[in-house]
Structure 1
Amino acid sequence: MAISSPGLASGIDIQGIVSKLVALEQAPLIPLQQKAASLQSKLSIYGSIKSMVSGLADAAAKLSAPSAWTSVRGMTSMPDAVNISVAPGTAATSMAIEVQSLAKAQSVASGAVPVGTAMGGGSLSIQIGNWSGGSFAPGSATAVPVDIAPGDTLSQIATKINAAGAGVNATVLRDASGERLLVRSNTTGEVNGFRIQATDDDGDDTDADGLSRLAFDPGTASGMTQSQAGSNAQATVNNVPITSATNTITDALPGITLTLSKATTGPAEVSVGVDRESMRKNIQAFVDAYNTINNMLATATKYDPDTKVAGSLQGDSTAVGLQNALRGMMRSVTASEPYSRLMDVGIEMKTGGVMSINTSKLDAALQRPQALQSLFAQTSSVATERGFGLKVKAFADGLLSVNGLVSTRTEALKSAGTRNTKEMEKVSDRAARAEVRYLAQYNAMDAAVGQLSGLNAFVTQQITLWNNIKR
């Protein structure tokens, strides 16, 4: 392998000279790199703007929906005992509710046996139905059989019952006396009780031995005992009695769902009214979404004379145009009555285009939800006369569309970044080729100097020899 040592023959620092020349070739990279950083910064900001515009569109869409202005909410004086939820459009009302008892699920328990005892073989038949006066009325579902092997323990039997899907669940309770099988209805209410009949391999289905011990049936007195009867919830609405198989009452009052949690000692006052708090939150979310974009644009386009630092989008006509368009829209007028401007309901524009809410004015406007609906959701064939929710939603969707202002500017920045990258690659490639060329030229010069130095040494030597001979 050849060893190259530039400048060895001439003593000139060829590598240093070439490095400086290459640095001159690479000088155009500096402004290109600065431009790349600027483009990336702008792209990042426009990405944030795109997300913020999408958030504004969502907030405006909520205000433009008629359901936003007809929403209702339920209120209760005893939320720990009686809770309420209401469907949209439910009429305003109020009532007094007392809870006498909650709905319960039927539960039975076997006698205690030593842990791991084999209960005997056979099968269990589990039937859902209603107990009344000691007799059982089967429900519409058919009985579910559960086959039991002779060596099955209570834990194995509980697993088989749970896998059968019979409308009950089983577990094993262990204490100092041994273990017991506990079986409970999956659902509360009188009609969701159950009967368990045993077919015992020992031939006697009613004795206190074998699988008969796990029966719950009037004909098997030695089987499991009931620890809790299935029962309905008992309550009154304005002193009118109601019952329910569950503690969630959905059919008694149109559009209203009551959830009972415990018995009461007095009436719980329950009411349905206009959900003004939800309306307030939607308006606040709209104002916050606008302010987020406005603040971003204000920061990105400003120039600080004290620090002499310009924002990343300072002088960007697209950003400035977007900022002015948003502020102008929020100051515009709709065709709605009696409110036609945002400031009429307390949404006011302050210095720097920041919006704030005048609480007292908004509180007054919230007493007229239909008028607010007109302000935000007014429909019209003329775009400028539509409600603010519809106008802002359409404006935001336009910005985010393929040919929209934000999308177009973003694509332009990406294209500029691609071109800038190619220019940097060209400069780097040109500098690399120049380095090869400079090294070749200076190495050739170094070799020529080396040859001349050798020739000079030879001539000097010959002259010295000639002079010596002459003497």
Structure 2
Amino acid sequence: MGISSIGIGSGLDVKSIISQLMAIEQQPIAQLQTQASSLNTKLSAFGQIKSQMANLQDMAQKLADQSNWNAMSVTSSNASAITGTATEAAAATSFSVEVSQLARAQAVGSVALPSASPVGAGSLHIDLGNWSTGTPPVFTAGGTAVDVQVGATDTPSQIADKINAAGAGVTATVLKDTAGDRLLLRSNATGESSAFRIQALDSMGNQITSGTGLGQLAYDPANVATGGMSLTQTALNTKATINGVAVTSQSNTLNAVAGLTLSVSQVTTAPVEITIQRDTSAAKKAINDFVTSYNSINAALAEMTRYDPATKTAGTLQGDSTAVGLQTALRRLLSGNGPAGTPLRNLSDLGVEFQSDGSLQVNASKLDTALKKSDDVKNFFTAAAGESALKGMALRIKDFADGLIGVNGALTSRTNSIQSAINRNSKDQTNLQDRLTQTQTRLQAQYSRLDATMGSLTALSNYVNQQVTLWNKNSNN
């Protein structure tokens, strides 16, 4: 019978022998795996630093953004009557505002009409424009008229739907009461120039002036004296004074001052003081966000480069020249002086102060005091100059970050180098694993031959022993 398993013929634990030999052969691949783990940990660490540096660059960009420094705020002594917003174009100033009239839309209403009864065929000719104050008032058209066709069987509700679909600048509503349906029309916009006239025309295109039939839906005081729609609200402009100077507006919004929009909601009984001043809230937020971002990367670098003598453990990047150099360069950069021409020498003059662990902390009251001269703080961060050393702090930090995380930046080069090492390591592991497979195959073949040979020798030895025993037995007999 042939030998079915290695070791049976020889009696040796061949499987264990090969396993121990392969364990020795595999030591180099174990070293490569350990090295790969370390490289991947470093790559992850530098990836985190790059991400935090990109965030720091974004925060520096916001500090350099002029809109965060040029914002203006508006305060009102009577916010229930007047509020306002200002753009960068507004100047810091103050003035008094009085409102004598609010803008409103024209509104008219018909007499009660039977809800299911038509008023007759024809059309409603709707014009937007102005009404004079005479008696009767005179209408001056100011836009393109719209004709709404009315069918012989149209009810008030159907007529309202047609008016609303026509885009005539008015909105129709049906009010139902015990007397019937009343058709109500209102201008879509406020102001005297958004008033409207409605002329009723018969099927031949002639104006109906009787105030009967379709004429009941006309509003044209100069031609329909009675029977047409009644005026329920006159179109008005907002009327106000700014420091005693009269201003008007079609809406309840005043844009009489450059860069300023005032919204009025009440007629005033006393002057309302409006103050426009520099809004420092956006700049303050940008500074605080920058400090938070810097502290994140500072803490990460401190943790990654530290060595704990108590536990004798090193950080992921302990001793790494790129990480240690970045930590030093960042602190040196933020400790530097401000640009020429600004009275602020460094961040601490703004209330942004270094702590013993290298982090930054904002002294809120000191920052508020510095922001009272916001132009100085703005220049400290945003001043543009020909030489990098004279640029505003935010611009310098932005340039510094770009030099680290750009295509050819130091952090980018470092991560690329680590990734290349990981790729080489992976290739080395693959090649070594192939050699190990070949070695294991060779050892199994060698021990198979040895096992077969030793099995044959053992069988021969047993046969010889049997023959000797027989000879000895026969000789004794």
Matches within 5 A, 1:281-296: 281-296=285-300
Shift of 1:351: 0.9
Letter in 1 for 2:124: L
Aligned residues of 1:71 and 1:89 also touching (Cα < 8 A): no
Task: Name which of structure 1's ranges 62-71 and 417-426 shifts more when overlaid on structure 2.
Answer: 62-71
Shift of 1:326: 0.8
Letter in 2 for 1:83: T
Change in 2 beyond 3 A, CA 1:449/1:138: farther
Question: Which of 370, 374, 390 matches 1:385?
Answer: 390
- 1:135 aligns with 137
Shift of 1:65: 5.2
Matches within 5 A, 1:136-175: 137-148=139-150, 157-158=159-160, 160-170=162-172
Q: TM-score, normalised by structure 2?
A: 0.79
Aligned residues of 1:25 and 1:430 also touching (Cα < 8 A): no
Shift of 1:211: 5.2
Secondary structure in structure 2 of the residue aligned to 1:127: strand
Change in 2 beyond 3 A, CA 1:202/1:405: same
Distance in 2 (CA, whole Å) between partners of 1:122 and 1:445 is 116
Deviation string 1:179-235 (CA, Å, 9 cap, x unpaired) is 665543232111112223343559984677765554443345545544433221233
- 1:280 aligns with 284
Aligned residues of 1:60 and 1:286 also touching (Cα < 8 A): yes
Change in 2 beyond 3 A, CA 1:395/1:149: farther
Q: TM-score, normalised by structure 1?
A: 0.80
Question: Which of 409, 413, 418 matches 2:418?
Answer: 413
Distance in 1 (CA, whole Å) between partners of 2:119 and 2:416 is 76
Aligned residues of 1:18 and 1:435 also touching (Cα < 8 A): yes
Change in 2 beyond 3 A, CA 1:389/1:151: same
Aligned residues of 1:129 and 1:136 also touching (Cα < 8 A): no
- 2:126 aligns with 126
Deviation string 1:366-406 (CA, Å, 9 cap, x unpaired) is 23333334433344333223331222222122223211112
Aligned residues of 1:103 and 1:246 also touching (Cα < 8 A): yes
Aligned residues of 1:124 and 1:197 also touching (Cα < 8 A): yes
Deviation string 1:306-334 (CA, Å, 9 cap, x unpaired) is 44443322222211111111100111224
Task: Name which of structure 1's ranges 406-415 and 40-49 shifts more when overlaid on structure 2.
Answer: 40-49
- 1:46 lines up with 2:46 in the alignment: yes
Secondary structure in structure 1 of the residue aligned to 2:407: coil
Aligned residues of 2:129 and 2:195 also touching (Cα < 8 A): yes
Shift of 1:348: 1.8
Shift of 1:150: 5.2
Matches within 5 A, 1:152-301: 157-158=159-160, 160-170=162-172, 182-201=184-203, 205=208, 212=215, 214-218=217-221, 219=223, 221-250=226-255, 252-301=256-305
Shift of 1:365: 2.5
- 1:92 aligns with 92
Distance in 2 (CA, whole Å) between partners of 1:177 and 1:17 is 111
- 1:310 lines up with 2:311 in the alignment: no
Distance in 1 (CA, whole Å) between partners of 2:201 and 2:281 is 62
Question: Which of 321, 325, 346 matches 1:321?
Answer: 325
Deviation string 1:318-369 (CA, Å, 9 cap, x unpaired) is 1111111110011122433422222233222111211123344333332333
Gaps of 5+ in 2: 472-476
Distance in 2 (CA, whole Å) between partners of 1:445 and 1:177 is 119
Aligned residues of 2:130 and 2:142 also touching (Cα < 8 A): no
Distance in 2 (CA, whole Å) between partners of 1:209 and 1:395 is 82
Shift of 1:89: 4.7
Task: Name which of structure 1's ranges 87-96 and 17-26 shifts more when overlaid on structure 2.
Answer: 17-26
Shift of 1:129: 1.1
Change in 2 beyond 3 A, CA 1:304/1:13: same
Aligned residues of 2:108 and 2:231 also touching (Cα < 8 A): yes
Shift of 1:244: 1.1
Change in 2 beyond 3 A, CA 1:202/1:366: same
Letter in 1 for 2:55: G
Report which of the two structures shows the higher radius of gyration computed on alpha carbons. 2
Deviation string 1:262-284 (CA, Å, 9 cap, x unpaired) is 33443332101232334333332
Deviation string 1:272-307 (CA, Å, 9 cap, x unpaired) is 123233433333233233222222222222233344
Aligned residues of 1:9 and 1:449 also touching (Cα < 8 A): no
Change in 2 beyond 3 A, CA 1:23/1:216: farther
Superposed CA RMSD in Å reads 4.3
Aligned residues of 1:127 and 1:138 also touching (Cα < 8 A): no
Letter in 1 for 2:427: K
- 1:372 aligns with 377
- The number of aligned residues is 467
